Amino acid sequence: MQAQQLSVKLFAADPAAVVLEAFPPIFHRWIQESRIPHQLLIDVADYRHVPDGPGILLVGHQAHYAIDSERGPLGLLYSVKRDEPGELDGKLVEAFGDALAAARALEDDPARPIRFRGDRLRVAVMSRRLAPNSAETFAAARPALEVFAARVYPGRGPSIEHLADPREPFSVEIAVDGATALADLGQVS
Amino acid sequence: MTPPTWRERLAGRMPEALAEEIDVFETQMTLRRAGKLEEKIFAETRLRRGIYGQRYDNGQRHDGVAQRTLAFPCGGLTKGPETVWDAPGMMRIKIPMGRLSVLQLEVLAELAEEYSDSILHVTTRQDIQLHFVHIEDTPDLMRRLAAVGITTREACGNSVRNVTACQFAGVCGDQAFDVSPYAHALAWYLLGHRDVQDFGRKFKIAFSGCKPHPCGLANFHDIGCIAVEKDGRRGFEFYVGGGLGAVPHQAKLLDPFVPEDELLPLSQAVCRVFAQHGERKNRARARLKFVVQKLGIDEFRRLVEVERDKIPPDERWTTYLAHLDVTDEKPLRPGRALTGAGSPALAAWRASNVRPQPQPGYVVATVRLPLGDLTSSQARRIADLARRFTGDTLCLTVEQNLVLRWVSEADLPELHAELVALGLGQAGASTIADITACPGTDTCKLGIAASRGLAGELGERLAARGDIHPDLAALHIKTSGCFNSCGQHHVADIGFLGVSRNVGGRRVPHFQLVVGGEWNNNGGSYGLAIGAFPSKRIPELVDRLTEVWLRERQPDERLQAFIKRAGRAKIKEALDDLRHVPTYEEDRSFYADWGDPRDYTIGDMGVGECAGEVVTATEFGLATSEREVFEAQLVLDGGDAPRAADLAYRAMLSAARALVTIDFADVADDEHQIVSEFRSRFHDTQLFHDRFAGAKFAAFLFSSHEVRAGQPTREQAHQKIEEAQLFIEAAHACYGKVQQLKASEKTAATQKPAKQPSA
C-alpha cells in the first residue's frame, strides 16, 4: 500500500503531570543545536490557548513535532509533512524511528518534562487521497501494520485497532497489555 | 494501482472557471520552478490566490543566539522577492460574510490536518487562514475548496478582499433589513471583475444592517454600506475611503441613500475611480482613503458619478434582486422558549454568548474561539452540532468567533453541554476577556511584538479573575503586532500595537497603549497612543488603568468618556512608573516576548558598545519627541487642532534632530537644517527606511515640512499625530539600526588581523 504523511503518536505516562510551558525552551534549543540533523527545524508555535489542541508545536520542513492532545490523551505527535508516496512498511519504520528518537530525547532532557508509556501508540496516514479512512484501507494496510507491530512489540501479541470514523484520517492504535517503557520497544530500523 | 490525483478525483465537481484557474496557477508554478516566470510576477499571482508569505520566509531566522540561514532543500528557488520557495506560507481562504456550510467546514478541517497544523484560524475579516502551508500543496488545497464552492481568489494581493457583513444579518432585531443577499451579490459580482484587476492596493468592503452597532464596522472600509429604508424602499448609506492601517481614516459619506438597484453599479464606479486615481508608486499611500483625502469627498463623488454614467449596463446589477432568498436559512427545529435559568455556568454563557433573534423562540449562540483558533477535530464536532441543532450553516465573526444561528432556545442547555465537552463552552464572548489579536510575531513577517502571546496572557488572567464588574467586562481589548492595525487596535477601548525599544543596548518588546477608540457605531472613532510600555508590564497596566477608571469615574461613565474628562495626562501619570525596564541582569524576562523564550530581537540587534546606564543625547531627543507628540494629543483633546498638528510636526522634528545628533552634535535648532540633514543622512542613505514600508515614515516629516496646512481639521490633526507617532517609532528603529552598524564596524576593526612584520 502506498502512503505518505504518516503521523505517530506516543502517549504521556501521566498527562496531568505535563506542563506545556516547559516545552518552548526545549524546542527552541533543539532548533539552535540542530538536534535532529536530517531535518530542518524552523520555529515553535504556542497553541496552549487552544483546548485539546496541538499544544506546543515544533515546526519543521520535513515534519512537525507537537505536544498534542487533539485526539485522545496528551502525547508527542510526530507528523511527516513533506515526503513522496512510498510503501507503507518503509514509511512506518521511518516515522516511528523519528518519533521514538524525539520521545527519548524529551525523556532525557534535563528538565524532565515528560515520561512516555510505551504500551500503546497511534499511527495515522494524513493523506485522504492515498488512505481514505475505510475498511478497505485497513485491509490493505493490515499486513504492513502487523509486521510493524510485531517488530515494535516482539513476542507480546500486540492488538491493532482501526479507528474507523470515516471523516478522520486513517488511524490505528497498536497496543499491548502491561506496563512498557520506551526502552522496552523493539528496534524497527 | 496509483490512486487518482485530487485533480482527477474532483473533475466535474469544481466550477469549470475555478478548475481552469487552478490549472493555470499550477502551470505558473511549473514556469517559476523552471525560471521562466519572473519572481515579482509570480508573487502577485500567488497573492491573488490567497497564498501569502509568513515570517522567516526569506530563509533567515534569529534563533535566540544568532541569525541563521534556514537551509531549505529548494536551494535558490524563490516564490517572490526574498521569499524562499520551500518556506512555509499562509493560505487565506475567503469566506464571504463569514457564512460557511457544514460541509465546507468539514473540508477546511481536512485541509488543516493534511496541509497545515490542524488549526483553522478565523481572521478579523471573517476569512479562514491556514499556516505553515507549502506552496506545492496549494493547487490541491484550492481544488478541494473549489469542489465545495470556496475560492481563495483575490483573498490577498491588490484586489477586493473578503466582503464582510454583520454576523447577525437576517436574525437581528435592530437591522433595517437583511444585508446578506446584497453582500453576497456584490462579493460575487466583483470577484475577478475586470474593473478590479488594476488596483494599486487592496480594497475592503463591509455591510452593516444598522448604524449604532459595530458588527459590520462600515466606518473603516473602502466601501461601507449601512442598510436604510426610505419611503418603503431599501437602500444603503454608502461610505467610502475609510481604513485603519498605520494612519486610520474615517470613511466619508458618499451618498445617504443608494437604492438597492444602484448598489452594484455604484460600487463598480468607485472601483474604477480607485483604479484610475489610486497611487501606484508609493504603496504606503495607495489605499482609497488617500484618494478621497486628496481629492476631497465632493470631487471624488463627482468622479464617481461621471464614471457611473459611463459603465455599460450589466443585467447582474438587478437580476439578483429577484433572488434575495439566496442567503436565507431555514431553522431545523421549532423555536421553543427555555424555562428556568439552568446551571450558573449556563446562565453566565447565556448572558454573554446568546442573543435573542426577532424570530420567536430562536437565539444566536456565539462560540468563543480562543485567539480565533479551533482544531480540525473541533471543527468537525461543531459541524455535527450545527447539523443537530440548527441546520446547514455557520457564520464566522470579525471578532474571530463563530456563531450558530437559529438555535431553538430550549436546546441551549444541551448545546452548551456539548460545547463544554469540546472545550469551547467558554462564556465571555465579546467581553474584555475575548481579545482580538492579529498573528503578530507568531507568523507575520511584519510583526514587531507578540500580539497573540499578549492576548493569550491577558485573556487567561482576565478569565481567572472570575467576578468582573459588568462595565469592565463590556470593554474591548485588541492587539496588533505592529502599526498596520490588523488587530484593529484603533477601535478598541484598550488597544495595543507592538513596538520595540532600545534599553541598554538591547531590544525590549513594548506595546503602545491606544485609548479612546470606539467599537460601537460601526467603529465610530479612533483612539490615539499615549505611550509605549514594556510588553511584560501590559497585564499590570490593564489592571491599573481599569482600576483607576472604576474608582474615579462618574456614575456609569464609560472608559472613553472618562479618559476624555480626566485627560490623557492623568492617565499617563497613573501609568508612568510601568514604563520602567529593569536591566537585563536584573530581570531577563523583560527582554523576551510573551510565549517566546528567545531573547527578543528586531533586526537582530546585539549588545552595543553603549550598553549600560549611559543615556545618549539621541535617546534624550527621542524621549522629547514622545513627550511632544503626547502634548499634541492633549492640545487636540482641548479642541485646538491647528496647534496639535503643529506640535505633532515639532515632535517629528525632535526625533529627526535626535538622529542627526548621532554624528552631527552641533546641528542647529532650525527646522530647515534639521530636515535637510535628516534627508541626506537618513533618508537618502535609506537608513531610515522600514524594511517593508520603505520611505513611508520619512515622507510624513517631509510632507509636514513642505505643506503646512493653515487650519487643519480635527481629523487632519488626528492623522498628523498618528503620523508623528509612526515617525518616532521609525526613529527608534533607525537608532537601533545605527547602533548595530556601529557595533559591527567596531567588532570588524578589532578582529582585523595585526599586520605581520615583513620577513
pLDDT tens digit sequence for A100-142 = 999 999 999 999 999 999 999 999 999 999 999 999 999 999 9
Looking at chain A, how many residues does it have? Answer: 189
Contact A40 B64 (CB under 8 A): no
> Are B424 and A169 in contact (CB < 8 Å)?
no
Pairwise CB contact (< 8 Å): A167 & B132: no
Residue type, B299: E
**Which tops the pLDDT comparison, B755 or A133?**
A133
Residue A163 at interface with chain B, using a CB cutoff of 8 Å: no
Q: Tell me the nearest-neighbour CA distance from B528 into chain A, angstroms.
A: 29
Higher-pLDDT residue of B75, B743: B75
Asked if B114's CB is within 8 angstroms of A70's CB, the reply is: no
Which percentage of chain B shows pLDDT scores above 90?
73
Per residue in B325-340, pLDDT (tens digit) is 999 999 999 999 998 8
pLDDT the model gives residue B605: 30
Q: Nearest Cβ partner of A43 from B56, B422, B453? A: B56
| Cross-chain residue pair B456–A48, CB shorter than 8 Å | yes
Chain A residues touching B428 at Cβ < 8 A? none
* Whether B595 and A128 lie within 8 Å, measured CB to CB: no
| Contacting residues of B for A25, CB less than 8 Å apart | 597
Whole-number Å distance between alpha carbons of A189 and A47: 33
Of A66, A70, A82, the CB nearest to B377: A70
Confidence of residue B620 (pLDDT cuts 50, 70, 90): confident
pLDDT at position B607: 28
User: How many whole angstroms separate alpha carbon B590 and alpha carbon B595?
Assistant: 12
Alpha-carbon span B456 to B67, nearest angstrom: 27
**A 110-129 residues with CB below 8 A of B?**
126-129
Q: How far is A155 from chain B (nearest CA, A)?
A: 34
Using the Cα atoms of residue B413, residue B416, residue B421 and residue B426 in order, give the sign of their dihedral. negative
Q: Are B656 and B674 in contact (CB under 8 A)?
A: yes
Please state, in angstroms and rounded to a whole number, the distance separating the CA atoms of residues B547 and B497: 22
A157: alpha, beta or left? (left if phi > 0; alpha if psi -120 to 50) = left
Pairing of strands B494-503, B477-480: parallel
Please answer whether residues B585 and B505 qualify as being in contact, where contact means their C-beta atoms are separated by less than 8 angstroms.
no
Q: pLDDT category, A182, cuts 50, 70, 90?
A: very high
Closest residue to A61, CB basis, from B3, B86, B114: B86
Residue B373: pLDDT band with limits 50, 70, 90: very high
Residues B285-305: tens digit of each pLDDT: 889 999 999 999 999 999 999
d(CA B31, CA B29): 5
Given an 8 Å threshold on Cβ–Cβ distance, is B375 in contact with A50? yes
**Which chain A residues contact residue B134 at CB under 8 A?**
81-82
Other beta carbons within 10 angstroms of residue A112's beta carbon come to: 10
Nearest CA in chain B to A37: B71
Q: Residues 6 or more apart from B453 whose CB is under 8 A from it?
A: A46, B440, B441, B442, B593, B594, B595, B596
pLDDT of residue B467: 78
Query: What integer pLDDT is reported at residue B298 of this predicted model?
Result: 97
Cell 531627543 belongs to B621
Q: Any chain B CB within 8 A of the CB of A72?
A: no
pLDDT tens track for B123-143: 999 999 999 999 999 999 999
Which of these ranges, B55-59, B103-107, B210-214, B545-549, has the smallest mean pLDDT?
B210-214
Distance from CA of B422 to the nearest CA of A (A): 8
Q: What integer is the mean pLDDT of B237-257?
A: 93
> A129 vs B5: CB contact, 8 Å cut-off?
yes
pLDDT in tens, B386-415: 999 999 999 999 999 999 999 999 999 999
* Alpha-carbon span B354 to B669, nearest angstrom: 60
CB contact A169 to B (< 8 Å): yes
Distance between CA B136 and CA B145 in Å, rounded? Answer: 16
Which amino acid belongs to residue B161? Answer: R
Mutation to test the A interface, candidates B90, B132, B454, B600, most A Cβ within 10 Å:
B132
Nearest to A126 among B72, B113, B443 (CB): B113
Q: What is the pLDDT of residues A79-94, one digit of tens each?
A: 999 999 999 999 999 9
- Show the cell assigned to B711: 487650519
Q: Which residues of B touch A55 (CB under 8 A)?
A: none
- Residue from A1, A2, A11, A5 nearest A122 by CA: A11
Distance separating alpha carbons of residues B158 and B305, to the nearest angstrom: 24
For residue B579, CA distances in Å to B201, B425, B426, B513, B539 come to 37, 37, 33, 11, 13
Cα–Cα dist B145/B424, whole Å? 26
Answer whether B314's CB lies under 8 Å from B195's CB: no
Residue B517: per-residue pLDDT: 87
For residues B499-516, give the mean pLDDT: 91
Q: Which residues of A touch B595 (CB under 8 A)?
A: 24, 46, 48
Cell of A98: 523519528
Model pLDDT for residues A10-48, shown as the tens digit of each residue: 999 999 999 999 999 999 999 999 999 999 999 999 999
| Chain A environment of B460 (Cβ under 8 Å) | 49
Nearest by CB to residue B63, choosing from A24, A32, A71, is: A32
Identity of the highest mean pLDDT range in A72-76, B208-212, B633-637: A72-76
Q: Quick one: pLDDT band at residue A187, thresholds 50, 70, 90?
A: confident
> Which set of grid coordinates corresponds to residue B530?
499615549
Cβ contact B55–A167 (<8 Å): no
Under DSSP, is residue A16 helix (H, G, I), strand (E, B) or coil?
Answer: helix
For B12-46, write each residue's pLDDT tens digit: 999 999 999 999 999 999 999 999 888 888 998 89
pLDDT in the model for residue B613: 36
What per-residue confidence (pLDDT) applies to B752? Answer: 58
Which residue from B4, B71, B118 is facing A54, i.e. has the nearest CB?
B118
How many interface pairs between A and B have CB atoms less than 8 angstroms apart?
110
Q: Are strands A6-12 and A116-125 parallel, antiparallel or unpaired?
A: antiparallel
Which pTM value belongs to this model? 0.88
Mutation for B interface: A167, A170, A171, most B CBs within 10 A: A167
Asked if the Cβ–Cβ distance from B118 to A25 is below 8 Å, we say no
Name which residue leads in pLDDT, B758 or B6.
B6
With a CB cutoff of 8 Å and minimum separation 6, the contacts of B531 are: B512, B513, B572, B575, B576, B579, B626, B630
Amino acid at B371: L
Report chain A residues whose CB lies below 8 A from the CB of B72.
40, 61
How large is the average pLDDT for residues B244-253? Answer: 89
Long-range contacts of B451-455, Cβ-Cβ distance < 8 Å, separation of 24 or more: B451/B479, B451/B480, B451/B481, B451/B487, B451/B496, B451/B498, B452/B371, B452/B479, B452/B481, B452/B595, B453/A46, B453/B593, B453/B594, B453/B595, B453/B596, B454/B479, B454/B496, B454/B511, B454/B535, B454/B538, B454/B594, B455/B371, B455/B479
- Chain B residues whose CB is inside 8 A of the A51 CB are 370, 422-424
Q: How many angstroms separate the CA atoms of B130 and A10, rounded?
A: 25
- Pick left, alpha or beta for residue B755 (phi over 0 → left; psi -120 to 50 → alpha; otherwise beta): beta
CA distance A91 to chain B (A): 16
ipTM of the complex model: 0.97
Does residue B356 carry a pLDDT above 70? yes
Distance CA B321, CA B508 (A): 55
Give the DSSP letter of residue B680.
Answer: I
Q: Kindly report the backbone phi and psi dihedral angles of residue B146, in degrees, each rounded to the nearest multiple of 5, phi listed first.
A: -60, -35
- Give the Å distances, CA to CA, from B427 to A3, B349, B400, B432: 42, 4, 15, 11
Q: CA torsion angle for A166, A51, B480, B161 (degrees, to 10)? A: 20
Report the candidate in B470, B479, B490 with the shortest Cα–Cα distance to residue B450: B479
Binary contact (A47, B9; C-beta < 8 A): no
Q: Give the other-Cβ count within 10 Å of A16's Cβ.
A: 8
B253: left (phi over 0), alpha (psi -120 to 50) or beta: beta
Of A31, A57, A167, the CB nearest to B117: A57
Q: How confident is the model at residue B214 (pLDDT cuts 50, 70, 90)?
A: low
Name, of B44-58, B225-239, B458-472, the range with top average pLDDT.
Answer: B225-239
pLDDT at B758 over 70: no
Nearest-Cα distance to chain B for A119, in Å, is: 25
- Chain A residues with beta carbon closer than 8 angstroms to that of B70: 40, 42, 61
Residues of B in contact with A127 (CB under 8 A): 114
Higher pLDDT, A39 or B506: A39
Written as one string, the DSSP assignment of B512-570 is: EEEE--B-HHHH-B--EEEEEEEGGGHHHHHHHHHHHHHHHPPTT--HHHHHHHH-HHH
Helices (H), B390-511: 412-422, 451-464, 470-473
Distance to chain A for B519, nearest Cα, Å: 25
Tell me the pLDDT of chain B averaged across its residues: 91
Q: How far apart are CA B260 and CA B237, in angstroms?
A: 11
pLDDT of residue B754: 45
Q: Tell me how close the Cα of A118 comes to any Cα of chain B, in angstroms.
A: 25
Please name the member of B56, B459, B595 whose beta carbon is closest to the beta carbon of A24. Answer: B595
